[in-house]
Structure 1
């Protein structure tokens, strides 16, 4: 599985297929506001992207998926009030 819960964050690692969207949503709904580290993901299925768009967790760092980083990289700025990326 490419979605895992760590004590202080959720990590997306490697390719994140459609099956990971439900797991990610459940983790985020259980702990709203928990940051999602997407720096190590290789590819995000659009269902996973939709979960991130809908639940809007903090996304510190750049996305590891080049396509997502290019088109949705500004999502990472929502992690801090002033728009700075940690």
Structure 2
């Protein structure tokens, strides 16, 4: 299994596919502070990335994939700010 709960840490391992997005979302639903460890992750389906973007969990570990490490991790680390309103 590529999405595994280990105590309070959610581990993403290997190639995470479309069906893993639902499992990840279920594990991220409780508002408990959970950490997602990406150190054993090789690739992420776009739906898994969307789940991470939507829930913004704390991330741990550095993926071995240069794409995930150099491009995706910085995008996931950016804080979201509410747009300014002129109302």
TM-score > 0.5, shorter chain as reference: yes
1:49 aligned residue: 49
Q: CA RMSD in A?
A: 1.8
Q: What are structure 1's unaligned runs of at least 5 residues?
A: 79-86
1:33 aligned residue: 33
Report the CA distance shift for 1:22/1:55 in structure 2 as closer, same or farther (over 3 A): same
Q: Of the two, which has the highest radius of gyration?
A: 2
Q: Where is the strand percentage greater, Structure 1 or Structure 2? A: 2
Q: What are structure 2's unaligned runs of at least 5 residues?
A: 80-87
Alpha-carbon deviation of 1:64? Answer: 3.4
Where does structure 1 differ by over 4 angstroms across 4 or more consecutive aligned residues?
none
In 2: Cα distance, 1:77 partner to 1:60 partner: 15
2:83 aligned residue: none
TM-score by length of structure 1 reads: 0.79
Post-superposition CA distance 1:21-64 (Å, at most 9, x none): 00000000024420000110011111101100110000022233
Report the CA distance shift for 1:76/1:60 in structure 2 as closer, same or farther (over 3 A): farther
In 1: Cα distance, 2:8 partner to 2:27 partner: 12
TM-score by length of structure 2 reads: 0.78
